[in-house]
Structure formats: C-alpha cells, structure tokens
Chain A
C-alpha cells in the first residue's frame, strides 16, 4: 500500500502546520487547551512520517518499481541490506529520514517535556513545527519519494555502487541525528526569545539535548571519515572537502554550545551567548544540508544533487537563519545577563574554549564559502584546500588543546591557575617525556611531530589527572579513592572521557600526518614490496562474481621475518554492470593501532599491476578517539543530575502568567 505512505506524508504536513500555529497562539493568549494541542499533534506527526518512511522502506525491500524513487535507486539483485539502506541513499529518501528524525525529536520533547513550563513547551514544539512544515513542504513539492510510475519498469537502475556499503547503514542516520538534534536547541532558543525569558530550567533542558545531538554528530562525522577512508581508496581520512566541512562546522559550534550550556546551567551566566550559539549551531546544520543537497560547491562526496532544490533549501535557510537572528537582535536585550565571574575560573576557561571554538568554526566557514563568494563577486573560480586549513585551523586549535586540561581543574567563579598548573605537573612531565621518546627513538628530525605527540600525551594525561584528583589520589587511602571514584558524578567521567578521546584523535592525526609512509609501484605476481619493515608479496589476481557485480581480487601475502606467510590482504576492484561503474575496495590490515592499506590500480600492458601501499601508524586512534568522545557524551547524558524534578502539586492554585518577564 504505497499510497498509504504518500497520504501519511501529506497528512503529516497538515499536522505540522497546525503544530506551528495553534500552540504558539495558545501560549501568546494563555489558552491551556491550545497549548495542549502541541503534544498530541507532534506525536501524531511523528507516527505519520514514520509510517511513510516504513512504507518507502518496504517498497525498497520488495523492489516496487512503480515508485520512481525506487526505480532510480534500486535493483532486484541488490543484497537485502542495501535495498533497505538504499531507502536513504538518495536525495528524496534522505530528506524523508531528515523529517523522520526531526519529528522524532519533537515527540521526545513532547514526552519528556511533560514537566516543562506549559508555555515554554508549547512554544518549543511550535518552533519545531515550523521546521517540520518547511521540510515536509520541501519534500512534497520538490523531492517527493512517492511519485509513481505507470506502467512500472521491470528492473531498477541500481544504487550508486559507492553507497553499497555498510557505511550507508550507519553514517547518514547518525549524522542526521546530530544535525537535527540541534534543532531542539534551536527551538528552545527561539522559544526563549519569543517568551522573553530564560531561566535555569531552560539551561537544564538544553544541555541534555545538546549532549545527545553532539554525541550523535561526533559519531556521524567520525563514521563518515572512516567510510571515505576505506571506500574511496585514496587512503585519506579528511579532505577538507566542502561536504566534510559542512558536518564539521556544526560539530565545532555544537562543542562550543555544549560547554557554554554548562556555564549557563551551573552559574546562570552566558545566557545570551548560549542562545546565540544554539541558533548558530542549527543554522550551520541547515547550511550543511544545503551545501550537500544543492551541489553549489564541488565535492567528492556529493550524491544526487539538484540546484533547483538548492534554491528551495536556500529559502528555508534564509528564513530560519535570518528570522532567528533578527528575533535575537530584537529580543535579546530583554534578557538579562547574570553571574559575574573572575577570568581565571571554570567559567573563564569555558569562555576561552568558546572563543577558540567559534574562531575555528569561522575559519572553516570562510574556507568553505570563500570560493562561492569569489565566484559570485568576481566570477573567478578558486579552490581552497588543505594548505589553507592547515595554516588557519591549526594555529587556532593548538592553544585550545593546550588549555583543555586546565579547564576541569579550575574552580567555579574564582579559580587558582597556579594551583591547577601545580596539579598538572605530572601530566606535563609525561608529555615532555613523550616528546623526548619520540625524538630519540622514532625520528630525530621530526620536531613538530614530536611536539604533536607531546600535545596528545598532555591531553590524555590531563584527562586522567582530572579524574585522579577528583577521586582524591594521593590524599586518601587507595580504598577510599576507589570508592570516591565510583561515586563521582557521571558527567565528570564524561568530561574526562571526551577530553581523553580528543587526545587520542590528536595522536592518531599526528601519527598519520608525520609518520605515514607510502609506496607506489607496479608489481607482477610473485614480486614483493617493502614498506616500513613490512614485506608484501603479490600473489596474483582472481576474478570473483558478486551478487550484482564482478570483482578482480588482488591477493597479497604479508610475509613474516623468516619469509613465512603471516597474513593476507585482499584489495579489489569491482565493476557494477547496471551503472557501468567501477569501485575500489581497499585492502586494509589492522596491526595494533596502525594499519597497512593497499589500493590497486589498473593492470599495465605487460601484466603487472599498479599498487599503492601505505603504512598508516596509529591511524585507528583517529576514529577510536572520536568514539571515546561520543561515549563521553553518552555517559554524561546519563548523569542522574540532569533530570528535572516535576514541580510538586502543593504549589497549585497560583495564578499563572505568560507575559512575565523575569530576570
């Protein structure tokens, strides 16, 4: 029943419209019944979009080529996993996934927000409704996945082979959970501006949403990076490509938001700034969607782009970003700042963090959009690549990374930098040792790289120091320390884990950038190649028939010290006949934290094969560290202190008001 899904989508749009207006009017005139509409309508909207999504997914699973979308992006011979993930492996389906996650988050606010002030809850859900209305309209008008085809073709055109990978099952949903998760923060911010008030409960609410969205986005960005690393066969993990930057900017801004929300919750300070960051973060998420979907920037990752749709998203972008910023300009003066603090304090450290992170976001923003501006203004085409970002993003991030271990050690309101530095002596000594070891035993010329290793060690040890000190290491008996460690609030573990992960990621990046070795050569069967002490023997090519592709599999034997075979690496080229497209499947062997990466090219006329081999030391730490950061976010999310108790009923009977402006 394909049309049921189509109808559900249309109905969801009608409900989103109601959700956008009725609760907001209710909150303005103080009508409880109108405000109460928000919850059920949001949940019904989610149920309907979910129904539409499931129907589309079933159509993919059953190869129903009477849908244009299925016909264009699926094939009956495709393995079932890729039929299902193919649902969002195309523009229309991915926008439906976007809408599904948006309505999901709306419903979660409706369910868990039962104890929010009624008018705040109604306004937040109404703002969610605006976003939902805009995107559902976008889907219905320009990107409807339920457009039918009659008579239905008997076979589809298949999914882009690059996307026929497990990565498609994980990366886009995680990324969208992150992108769209920030919509909740945005809605809270806009609601606060409309209400003209912002209080402690607001901050308590925004923090878990920011944490959840941030954790998902961290996972999504990391997963996307790993996917590109192994699927493109170029051996790179980050290309500073516009599409990557599009997901990186909200991550940077979201990280800043996460930290400023802490200050706001604990100290009622930085209110207006936090509000602005919430708006900016979601704006950058929208911008990311626009950049990826419109194809205005040349990217190696952009699939199924369409400029006419880009204009629609651009309109959404302008209305939401422009509108919210205008609202901010108009109303932020009605909010009062609070909480005074000394510059050397936890708050001060977090402000510093925000300064660096937003500056870093700005450099990425400039680097990403500058070519677009140049082309629009002067008609010249330029490209901004890695050298630019190395020169700008690097210098901004390094001082931030240096400062990270200090933050958690400073007290609120007024801290003691000297005492913190004293307590970090061990970590500093460890980092210094790491620099020395790298210089003496790895490479005597790699000064910058050894400093990078030292920086990573500083971050990791700093995070561990923080935990050890909080548990009372050195001042209490060991058993007491353990007990205190277990009793520490989870958010402290989350902080330490995230900072530790940051150190690990840094170490991985330094390892690959400084110590990676690479060898390009033409090999004949039986020949061996050596890279960083590892010897590979090329054992020849075999043809293999896959379910919907043919494959040339090149086998390599990894030889041990005595010449015996210690392992095997298979690298292959696939050819997908339906799309007439070849793909590269890199051969990767993980050895400890490092990887041997083998990518094959064409066979030359004399029967040898062009092979490119990389030795990538510590490369897995890049994504391992990101996973640790994500885990830190999750641990922090489950901190018991984030729950807001329901107001006790004893206080009922007080007249309630909506026009209140508190300070």
Chain B
C-alpha cells in the first residue's frame, strides 16, 4: 500500500514538473517589450529621486542640475539603442520544435531513469516510534529489545521488566547488559535463586565461558536461597572442573543426578558433563576433542576479547565443517549446539540442532537426546 502510494505521488510530481516546462512552451506568444523601456524606466526613477533629494536639500541645486543633465544624456542613449533592435526568425524553425519536445520529455525520462538507478522504492520509511509500536509478532528481536529498553528507560523501577529483559540480553550475547539487568531486578525486588544464577551465568558467558570468582559467588548465593537449584549446582561443579578438580566435579554432578527429578531438563546436560569429565580423566594424553575444549576456552579468556572471539569462532567453524563431512557424531552435534549458544548465535544453534536431528532421524534416540539437551540450553528446533 505504501509503495503504491509512493508511485502515485511520484507520478503526480513528475506530471507537475513536466507541466512547468510544457505550459510556458505551449502558451500564447507573449507580447514583446523593448529592453530599452526597462532602462528608461530606471532613469526616470533616478530623475524623480533626484527631484526628491533636491527638495529635501540633500543636493545643491547646481549639482542637481548636473546630475539631471547626465541622466537625460543616458535616456537619449538608451532610446537610440532601442531603435536599433531587430527580430529574429530562428525561433520558429523546425529544429526548435524538436528541441522544445525534447525539453518536455527530458523531465520524466531523466528523472525516472535516474531514480530507477539510485532509488529504493520498495523500502517504506521506518520512524523509530512506529517500529517500536507495531505488533510484537512482526518485530525483530532488536526491535523488541529496543522497545523494552525504552519502557525501562521511562520506568526504571520495573523489576519485572528487568527480569524479562535480562535473559534476552544473555541470549543476544550482550552479557554485560544482562548482568546489569539481573542486578537491577535484584536491587528493586530482592534476590532470588533464578536471578542470582542468571547473574552468574551472564558473568561466565562474558568471560568466554570461564566461571570466574564473581560468577561462583553469584551461584553460591543462588544455592543459599534455593538449595539444590540445578543451574547453580551445575555451574559450580563445572567451575571445579575448570580448576582441574575433575573428580570433585564428577562427584558433584553425580550428587546432582541423585536429587534431580526424573523429568528435569538438566539430567542430560549433567549426564553429558559427567561423560565428558570421565573422558578427560581417561585420556588427557589423547588428542583433544575437536571444538573448543575447556583448556582452549581458558586460554582464550587470557586473550583480548577480539582475539578470543576469533579463536572460538574458528574452532566452532572447524567443528561445524567436520560434522558436515562426518555427520553421525552425537557428541559433536551436542558440542556444536552448545558452542553456538555460548557465542550468542541462537539462530546458528537452532540450525545446528535441526541438522543434527535430521541426521539421526526425527524419532531416533539420539535426536531425542539432542532435543533434550537443547531444551536445557533454551534452544528449540522449531519456533
């Protein structure tokens, strides 16, 4: 509709512009005036001005007389020039007719031609307020976030708003902002296990997967508020693994397995972690598993953020490549989905998950396992 309206307006503008050329060209031939008459008019004006100045005493009579004589001389000169003028017949020639036609046609042809080259007629205007007000279902994630931000800028005390925004920031990879949002919610509405563990998760993600002391403190607070909270427990155990205390980590995970309800989404992740821990224990000497291992991530956390991102990206990309050639690798798919998720590339994670499930067949055990893991991570195969 917008585009339609544009073409109508463009057509009207073109019409108007063409008429600005066409109407004078096709009009009645105006009656000519001698140019000299303009000049004489100026001199006449000067004469009357001179009279006024003389009356007011601004000019001495003798000077006025001189000036009058000079203006009179110029009037005579202009009169003479006038009588020398002649007319020109060239204007009615055939070439001129073609020229006039070209002049009229050049307006629509040139403008539409150039516009076709430089314009983007299909793009509607997108004022920010309208983008933020339209139906949320049509909005991009960025727009939704901007809308939430605008709401929170106006009502910074809305704890629920911060609660909603915080995990979204986390998923978009804006970890620092996620931390701030969680902390705002805690400040306004008090601490809860979910908020504290969210803070910990975001801090860890910001550090490239490294569960720092700050993050551990946050998880610890979460466990105080809700003993047995799976996320906090899981990450604290992972922290042990990162510190090299793999046995203790496995013990902690195994303890978790005991307490987790049978339908918990965390069971698979924990089981996975246990398997991985055991593998690491078993073959430290072996070639490291493809994809970003914990050591890699640890090394990465010592790098500058750009280098780190680049390193993780290349490792993830090589894993992705490997899976394309060698798809029947459940562990590989699991790691790929997880990696993309950590990188904040939700779309890629979703895509990897879908590809993984397709490889094994929708109803296979592996596919279910993948799906369960992904649920735990917050990734869904289809939206």
Query: Taking beta carbons and an 8 Å cutoff, which residues of A are in contact with B?
Result: 1-4, 6-8, 10-11, 13-15, 17-18, 21-22, 25-26, 29-34, 36-37, 39-41, 43-44, 48, 51, 59, 62-66, 76, 115-120, 140, 144, 146, 148, 150-155, 199-201, 204, 268, 411-413, 470, 472, 484, 487-489, 641, 644-648, 651-652, 654-660, 662-663
Complexed CA–CA distance, A656 and B39 (Å): 13
Q: A4-B9, A37-B24, A44-B16 are in contact. Are A29 and B111 (CB under 8 A)?
A: no
CA distance A115 to B42 in the complex (A): 11
Interface residues as binary, B126-145 with A (CB distance below 8 Å gives 1, 0 otherwise): 11111100000000101101
Tell whether B94 is near chain A: CB-to-CB under 8 Å. Answer: no
B24–A200 touching, CB < 8 Å: no
Residues A654 and B82 in contact in the complex (CB < 8 Å), given A34-B91, A40-B20:
yes
Q: Are B125 and A64 in contact (CB under 8 A)?
A: yes
**Given contacts A4-B10, A29-B88, A200-B39, A10 and B111 within 8 Å (CB-CB):** yes
Within 8 A of A (CB), among B85-99: 85-88, 90-91, 96, 99
25 pairs of residues in contact across A and B, judged by CB atoms under 8 Å: A1-B5, A1-B9, A1-B125, A7-B10, A7-B13, A7-B111, A11-B14, A14-B110, A18-B106, A22-B21, A30-B90, A33-B25, A33-B27, A43-B20, A64-B126, A116-B38, A140-B118, A153-B142, A155-B146, A200-B42, A201-B41, A201-B42, A651-B37, A659-B88, A660-B85
Tell whether, in the assembled complex, residue B126 and residue A201 are in contact, meaning their CB atoms are under 8 Å apart. Answer: no
Q: Judge whether B261 is part of the interface by a CB distance below 8 angstroms.
A: no
Decide if B33 touches A63 in the complex (CB within 8 Å). no
Task: Name the distance in Å between B16's Cβ and chain A's nearest Cβ.
Answer: 7
Interface: B282 (CB within 8 A): no
A33-B27, A64-B125, A66-B125 known; A14+B107 contact, CB < 8 A: yes
Q: Tell me if B111 and A654 are in contact (CB < 8 A).
A: no
- Chain B: residues with Cβ within 8 Å of the partner, total of 83
Contacts of A652 in B (CB 8 A): 31, 33
Q: Choose, from B56-64, B217-225, B242-250, B305-313, the stretch at the interface.
A: B56-64
User: Given contacts A140-B118, A644-B42, is CB(A31)–CB(B96) below 8 Å?
Assistant: yes
With a cutoff of 8 Å between Cβ atoms, the chain B residues found around residue A76 in the complex are 128
Q: Given the interface contacts A11-B14, A37-B24, A662-B78, does A656 sit within 8 Å of B128 by beta carbon?
A: no
A66, B123: Cβ atoms under 8 Å? yes
In the bound complex, residues from chain A placing their C-beta under 8 Å from that of B23 are: 40
Contact A654 B37 (CB under 8 A): yes
A470 to B58, CA, bound (A): 7
Contact of A36 among B24, B49, B107, B129 (CB under 8 A): B24
Which of A41, A48, A484 is B13 in contact with, Cβ under 8 Å? A48
Per-position 1/0 for B314-356, Cβ under 8 A of A: 0000000000000000000000000000000000000000000
CA distance A13 to B57 in the complex (A): 54
Q: Of B84, B90, B103, B124, which one neighbours A37 at CB under 8 angstroms?
A: B103
- Check A472 against B57 for contact (C-beta < 8 Å): yes
In Å, the complex CA distance between A130 and B318 comes to 59
Contact A33 B29 (CB under 8 A): yes
Interface residues of B in 5-48 (CB under 8 A from A): 5-6, 9-10, 13-14, 16-17, 20-21, 23-27, 29-46
Identity of the chain A residue whose Cβ is nearest the Cβ of B109 in the assembled complex: A14
- Which B residues are in CB contact (< 8 Å) with A13? 110-111, 114
Q: Is A32 in contact with B29, judged by CB distance below 8 angstroms?
A: yes
Check if A660 sits within 8 Å of B35, measured CB to CB. yes
Query: Does the CB pair A62–B129 fall under 8 Å?
Result: yes
CB contacts (< 8 Å) of B111 on chain A: these are 7, 10-11, 13-14
